[in-house]
Amino acid sequence: MHELPPVAEMERAYRESDASYDGIFFLAVKTTGIFCRPSCQARKPFPANVEYFPTVREALFSGYRPCKRCRPVEAADAPPGWVRPVLDRLEQDPSVRWRDAQIRALGVDPARLRRYFIKRYGMTFQAYCRGRRLGRSLEAIREGRRLDDVILGHGYESHSGFREAFGRFFGRPPGKGAEARCVRVTWLESPLGPLVAGATEEGVCLLEFTDRRMLETQLETVRRRVGEPIVPGTNGHLERLGEELSGYFAGKVRKFGVPLVCPGSAFQRRVWEALLAIPYGETRSYGSLAEALGAAGAARAVGHANGLNRIGILIPCHRVVNASGDLGGYGGGLWRKRLLLDLEQGRPVPWREGAAEAAGQERAAETSP
């Protein structure tokens, strides 16, 4: 559940074109049918004509079109300036145990920071910090550092406190930390909105748009299926994924090379393998996919397995459509499915240089319920 700031706070933000609220909320103008970032420099609407949304998805599905001036569908390149002092301080020393007074000393409201982290990372700031501390402690143990040094160097005041937190998070005591494994989870920007990505030491196991309704379920499924705790951070697979996704959205990458980890039932894995076999720029119907699997008549079961895919875009469930040619369903939203297919089939997309942006925006609006 995404939380919105108070209405008075949002009204002040958009009237002042406050870029620090970009990504926190979107405002839609009832009289024009357009939605914007708070920082948009267009003429300010009357408050009575404004409706607020926490995500691009909700604004689009309410029938609003993206503003051509501020491009709200496109992800921001960097976190807003107001949160940067906190992120910089956190990166300098992840062992800090933050208190509200410390956050305020950096000129940041703790409640606002909490809302930002819930929206951007799917967890509170304090939970994010705990994950960072534990993740760093695991790395230190793997490097062979003494347990006492790890405990004192990562913000824990006692052995018992560290052991309890470590055991609860990683499922084993610190003495066996060198054996502990985890799923690293990070945030990736994309022209279609932010993505949450996860990877084990073997490969990528999660890629979902952050506003997907089933995201929490998918995270829990990853935790259960992989059998490893989820920790904020990155690794080589996630770095490679970011590079390949950038190339994909630029129209330069047609096949991903990053390794995938996708545990599931035997049938689910067969469906996902069949999805991987669909060529770039082509589509298949649920029925034809079932026939290719030797399960003619099981189109509904194929559709269900398709919907349980936890690695969007890379395992291209967006390439499956209804037999009639209609888009069918898509967990990330039909507007995204259309734009992904437009990209792969060589049609104009809003984020490509020289593309017919207005056409892309109209297509996004047309897929609203």
Which residues does the annotation mark as catalytic?
317
Joined together, the tokens standing for residue 4 give 């919105």
d(CA 58, CA 63): 9
Q: Fill in the DSSP letter of residue 145.
A: -
Regarding beta strands 183-188 and 230-232, do their DSSP bridges make them parallel or antiparallel, or are they unpaired?
parallel
In the three-class reduction of DSSP (H, G, I as helix; E, B as strand; rest coil), residue 273 is classed as: helix
Nearest to 237 by CA among 280, 206, 208: 206
Q: In terms of C-beta density within 10 A (0-12 exposed, 13-18 middle, 19 or more buried), how is residue 2 classed?
A: middle
d(CA 354, CA 160): 60
d(CA 16, CA 39): 8
d(CA 364, CA 330): 14
- Give the CA angle between residues 243, 245, 251 to the nearest 5°: 110
d(CA 75, CA 189): 6
